[in-house]
């Protein structure tokens, strides 16, 4: 998998953001990027993930998309959707990279508009994201709606899923994700931090309900869990987790790092993990989670 962080800049200021800066030196040099894209293989199955910061505010975003389309690459980008509700922006993007080939992942922090807007630091961002998703669906773009789970929203998991089912068709995937605590103030970390036991108390009933609906073909959307270890739910639901090996090796390019291979930054960072029967299959989570919560984060399976 190729992962390209076009810029670390962003037009939002989310409470749980691990990387935001307003410094344009965090933008990738476009000439270097062009060379890298030219050197990519012609394998049309190879996926390129564009991220940031907010990738759509990168100065050469459209040119990048055009070059990637010429290279026949499958592009997925991680976005706050701020620019994707604009018809002009979508029309221009559609010319560079047909939107029915595109996949995006966009985040909501809450099922309540006011709370989401507060978490993102931008009033109206909830409504904008919903509007953008509806527009993209009309173009045939594949959309994944991500909920970054924190202490502020974990009790809303069930309502969030119900909201998704009411608002969107099964074409919209649902991703539940842990967060990276790196770069947060101590106060924010404390407000956000959540143990696997707390997550499991909400995730188990939700996954039970999703299983029920899926078995009866009442909801066929893709549901998956990332950046969380297996003990965030009962082992009966491990099929929902992005497991070890599925992330694989990542070639990462940003202004700070040259294109180089690395493994996804994910660990099983507690001594208790060695006693856990799920150790071999567990994907672990961000190392920052263990730095913040230590052993208290996990609940080993015995």
Closest approach, Cβ 170 to ligand SF4, in A, equals: 26
Distance CA 136, CA 142 (A): 8
List the interface residues with ligand SF4, window 33-72 (CB under 6 A): 52-54
Q: Per CB under 6 A, does 300 bind ligand SF4?
A: yes
List the interface residues with ligand SF4, window 224-243 (CB under 6 A): 229-231
Within a 10 A sphere around the Cβ of 236, how many other Cβ atoms? 11
List the interface residues with ligand SF4, window 129-188 (CB under 6 A): none
**Spacing of C-alpha 271 from chain mean position:** 28
List the interface residues with ligand SF4, window 260-299 (CB under 6 A): 268, 270, 272-273, 276, 278-279, 282, 284, 298
Burial (Cβ within 10 Å: 0-12, 13-18, ≥19) of residue 41? exposed
Binding mask 11-30 for ligand SF4 (x = CB under 6 A): -xxx--x--x----------
Three-class SS state of 198? helix
Closest approach, Cβ 111 to ligand SF4, in A, equals: 18
Closest to ligand SF4 by CB, 71 or 269: 269
**Going by C-beta distance under 8 Å and a sequence separation of 6 or more, which residues neighbour residue 282?**
229, 230, 231, 244, 268, 273, 276
Closest to ligand SF4 by CB, 119 or 157: 119
Closest to ligand SF4 by CB, 187 or 302: 302
CA dist 114 to 3, 77, 109, 130, 280, Å? 32, 25, 10, 14, 41
**Residues forming the site for ligand SF4 (CB under 6 A):** 10, 12-14, 17, 20, 52-54, 80, 229-231, 268, 270, 272-273, 276, 278-279, 282, 284, 298, 300-301
């Amino acid at each position: 998998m190729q992962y390209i962080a076009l810029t670390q800049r962003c037009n939002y200021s989310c409470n749980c953001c691990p990387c935001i800066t307003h410094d344009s030196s965090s933008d990738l040099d476009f000439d270097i990027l062009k060379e890298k894209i030219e050197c990519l293989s012609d394998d049309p199955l190879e996926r390129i993930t564009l991220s940031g910061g907010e990738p759509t505010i990168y100065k050469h975003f459209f040119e990048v998309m055009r070059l990637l389309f010429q290279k026949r690459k499958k592009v997925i980008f991680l976005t706050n959707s701020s620019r994707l509700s604009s018809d002009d922006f979508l029309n221009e993007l559609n010319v560079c990279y047909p939107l029915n080939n595109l996949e995006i992942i966009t985040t909501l922090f809450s099922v309540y508009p006011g709370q989401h807007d507060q978490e993102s630091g931008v009033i109206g961002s909830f409504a904008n994201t919903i509007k953008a998703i509806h527009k993209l669906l009309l173009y045939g773009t594949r959309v994944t709606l991500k909920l970054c789970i924190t202490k502020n929203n974990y009790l809303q998991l069930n309502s969030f899923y119900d909201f998704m089912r009411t608002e969107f068709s099964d074409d919209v995937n649902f991703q539940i994700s842990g967060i990276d605590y790196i770069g947060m103030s101590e106060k924010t970390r404390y407000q956000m931090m959540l143990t696997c036991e707390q997550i499991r108390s909400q995730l188990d009933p939700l996954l039970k309900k999703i299983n029920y609906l899926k078995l009866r073909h009442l909801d066929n959307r893709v549901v998956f869990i990332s950046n969380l270890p297996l003990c965030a739910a009962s082992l009966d639901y491990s099929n929902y987790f992005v497991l070890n090996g599925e992330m694989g090796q990542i070639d990462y390019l940003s202004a700070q790092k040259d294109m180089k291979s690395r493994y996804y930054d994910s660990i099983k960072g507690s001594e208790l993990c060695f006693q856990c029967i799920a150790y071999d299959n567990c994907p672990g989570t961000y190392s920052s989670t263990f730095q913040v919560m230590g052993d208290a984060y996990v609940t080993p399976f015995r």
